[in-house]
């Protein structure tokens, strides 16, 4: 006996059509949600391409192409849903081909390439990745050739499952597992190489040559282990001075010794080394009548240990602290992403073989969106890291004594910043002449009448004009 569903307008609907209509409505909600996610990822990947902190953008272009194919695939399914005149077979081939190519670019093109570079461009890793991806592309082409589709009662396009689609999922799982194992090996390789060898010195007084040699060796070792992971991006190179050299250490050790008078040295000799440049010029001492003022050494005001530790730690930050914390976090985070990808593919395999309303296409779409969001978040961390690193590597930002703008760094004896003298382009007036460049003028040699008739107009004329204006 047939059972029909009665609608509000009096129409009778058969149970197969009613069930298919409910499934189609749920599929429309899921497809529109995934379409929104992939449009957001496409826009964000395009913003990554336009960022100025990255020079080598090959992986960013790969990421952008992988995200651009996703809206095309979902949009074709939405068009076929509302226009029954389109052939479902063509629509499904477009959707499956776009999804397969996007998966290849995400797994092999981004995560696989990063794993290959993290392992010092290992040929074994490259060969295995090429073999797995070639096999996946071959099975994808066979799947497209043998694809069959039909339209349901509610107008949704379906495809029949075959062995080729399951084989593609299995190969995706094997490739994700291999990339995850590569990153796990890179993490294991990095654990014992530099741990405990990079130290942040809080004071320059206790630094010796041996400590610096050990630090340079450890930094070189760490760069050898980890710098390959991010060769696709660009770390801005700024020519800031090396914090410690043999010459600067000797000069600073002399300046710290209270038994050696530094007053006999000229200012050019004391400021020759960048480390001896103070962040603010010292206030000159008041003149006294003591006969030992010219021979006694100038007493040095002891600096605060907190200020000293902050300033010297900030000098080490772009090279040691930031490099150690962020690069290690990036490696572990990428390993977590690949492990999550493996778990997602395992859930897809279980969902495909289980009985439920979602078919293997829906499970593949969920896996696709999940992997895309993880990869996008990883690249977003890298872009933000380079923006912060470019900011920290500017000497004018993290050390006041190394400001590049000399007009704003001209500090007076009272500790206030002198405002730059306005030029002709600023206020329309000619620049004020320097009194040092003016000829000597002896006012005492003139009589009162001559001084009243011929005032020193060359010196006060610009100031008078400025006040009159």
Residues found in the chain: 469
pLDDT on residue 48? 86
Same-domain pairing of 154 and 33 = yes
What are the tens digits of pLDDT across the range 276-320? 444 444 555 554 444 444 444 455 544 444 444 445 555 545 555
Percent of the chain with pLDDT over 70: 51
Count of alpha carbons within 13 Å of 455, Cβ hemisphere only?
6
- On whether residue 435 sits in a domain, the answer given is yes
Q: Could you tell me if residue 221 is inside a domain?
A: no
Task: Return the pLDDT at 192.
Answer: 60
Residue 38: per-residue pLDDT: 93
Q: Do 44 and 119 have their domain in common?
A: yes
Q: Which helix (H) or strand (E) holds 326?
A: helix 322-353
| Residue listed under structure tokens 């799947």 | 143
Are 33 and 159 in a shared domain? yes
User: Both 19 and 54 in a single domain?
Assistant: yes
144-192 pLDDT, tens digit per residue, is 888 888 888 888 888 887 778 788 888 888 988 999 899 888 888 877 6
How many angstroms separate the CA atoms of 409 and 419, rounded? 10
Please check whether residue 294 lies inside any domain of the structure.
Answer: no
Same domain, 381 and 438: no
The closest of 131, 113, 132 to 122, measured between CA atoms, is 113
Supply the DSSP symbol for 13: E
**Residue 140 belongs to a domain with what CATH number?**
1.20.1070.10
pLDDT tens digits, 358-369 = 666 777 788 888
Higher pLDDT, 452 or 4: 4
- The answer to whether residue 286 is domain-embedded is no
Please give the helix or strand (H or E) that residue 150 lies within, else none: strand 149-151
pTM tops 0.85: no
Residue 348 has pLDDT above 80, yes or no: no
Specify the pLDDT at position 69. 92
Tokens at residue 181, please?
């194992």
For the ranges 20-34, 95-109, 137-151, 288-302, which has the lowest average pLDDT? Answer: 288-302
**Average pLDDT score over residue span 65-73:** 91
| Paired tokens of 208 | 């010796």
Q: What are phi and psi of 447, to 5 degrees?
A: -80, 170
d(C-alpha 218, C-alpha 468), whole Å: 66
CA atoms within 13 A on the CB side of 109: 20
Give a yes or no: residue 344 inside a domain.
yes
The answer as to whether 347 is a domain residue is: yes
- Find the domain containing 439 and state its range: 427-468
pLDDT for residue 53? 62
- Same domain, residue pair 30 and 110: yes
Q: Which of 254, 277, 300 is the last residue of a domain?
A: 277
Question: Are 440 and 395 members of one domain?
Answer: no
Backbone angles phi, psi at 66, to 5 degrees: -65, -35
Same domain, 251 and 375: no
- Using CB atoms within 10 Å of the CB of residue 305, give its burial: 0 to 12 exposed, 13 to 18 middle, 19+ buried: exposed
Name beta bridge partners: 151.
157
- The two tokens of residue 410 are 């001209």
| In a shared domain, residues 191 and 327 | yes
256, 192: one domain = no
Mean pLDDT over residues 427-452, rounded? 48
Q: Is 121 left (phi over 0), alpha (psi -120 to 50) or beta?
A: left
Total domain count for the chain? Answer: 3
Please give the pLDDT value at position 128: 93
Q: Looking at the structure, do residues 330 and 260 belong to the same domain, yes or no?
A: no
Contact yes or no for 206/238 (Cβ under 8 A): no
Half-sphere exposure (Cβ direction) of 265: Cα atoms closer than 13 Å: 15
User: In this structure, is residue 285 part of a structural domain?
Assistant: no
Q: Is residue 33 part of a domain?
A: yes
pLDDT score recorded for residue 173? 87
φ, ψ (nearest 5 deg) of residue 414: -80, 0
Distances from the Cα of 416 to the Cαs of 37, 198, 283, 356, 407, in angstroms? Answer: 53, 39, 11, 75, 13
pLDDT in tens, 194-207: 444 444 443 344 44
Count helices and strands (H / E) in the chain: 16, 4
Shared-domain flag, residues 26 and 87: yes
Mean pLDDT computed over every residue of the chain: 67
């Amino acid at each position: 006996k047939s059972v029909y569903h009665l609608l509000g307008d009096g129409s009778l609907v058969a149970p197969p059509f009613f069930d298919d209509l409910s499934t189609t409505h749920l599929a429309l909600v899921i497809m529109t949600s995934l379409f929104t996610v992939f449009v957001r990822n496409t826009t964000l990947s395009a913003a990554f391409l336009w960022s100025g902190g990255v020079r080598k953008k090959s992986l960013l272009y790969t990421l952008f192409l992988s995200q651009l194919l996703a809206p095309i695939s979902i949009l074709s399914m939405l068009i076929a849903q509302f226009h029954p005149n389109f052939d479902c077979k063509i629509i499904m081939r477009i959707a499956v081909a776009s999804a397969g190519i996007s998966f290849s670019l995400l797994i092999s093109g981004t995560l696989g390439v990063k794993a290959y570079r993290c392992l010092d461009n290992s040929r074994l890793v490259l060969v295995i990745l090429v073999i797995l991806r070639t096999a996946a592309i071959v099975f994808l082409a066979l799947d497209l050739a043998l694809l069959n589709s039909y339209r349901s009662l509610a107008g949704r396009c379906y495809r029949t499952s075959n062995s080729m689609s399951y084989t593609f999922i299995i190969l995706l799982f094997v490739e994700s597992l291999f990339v995850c194992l590569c990153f796990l090996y890179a993490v294991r390789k990095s654990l014992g190489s530099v741990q405990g060898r990079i130290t942040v010195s809080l004071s320059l007084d206790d630094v010796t040559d041996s400590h610096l040699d050990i630090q340079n060796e450890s930094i070189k070792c760490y760069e050898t282990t980890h710098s390959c992971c991010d060769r696709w991006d660009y770390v801005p190179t700024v020519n800031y001075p090396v914090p410690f050299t043999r010459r600067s250490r000797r000069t600073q050790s002399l300046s710290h010794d209270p038994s050696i008078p530094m007053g006999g040295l000229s200012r050019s000799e004391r400021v020759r080394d960048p480390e001896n440049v103070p962040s603010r010029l010292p206030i000159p001492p008041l003149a006294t009548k003591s006969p030992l003022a010219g021979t006694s050494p100038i007493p040095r005001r002891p600096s605060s240990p907190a200020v000293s530790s902050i300033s010297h730690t900030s000098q080490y930050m772009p090279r040691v602290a930031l490099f150690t914390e962020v690069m290690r976090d990036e490696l572990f985070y990428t390993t977590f992403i690949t492990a999550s990808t493996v778990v997602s593919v395992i859930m897809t395999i279980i969902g495909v073989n289980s009985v439920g309303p979602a078919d293997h296409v829906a499970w593949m779409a969920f896996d696709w969106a999940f992997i895309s969001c993880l990869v996008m978040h990883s690249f977003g961390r890298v872009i933000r890291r380079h923006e912060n690193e470019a900011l920290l590597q500017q000497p004018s930002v993290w050390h006041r004594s190394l400001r590049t703008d000399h007009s704003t760094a001209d500090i007076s004896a009272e500790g206030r910043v002198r405002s730059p003298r306005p030029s002709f382009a600023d206020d329309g007036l000619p620049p004020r002449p320097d009194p040092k460049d003016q000829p000597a003028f002896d006012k005492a040699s003139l009589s009162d009448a001559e001084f009243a008739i011929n005032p020193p107009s060359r010196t006060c004329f610009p100031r008078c004009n400025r006040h009159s204006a």
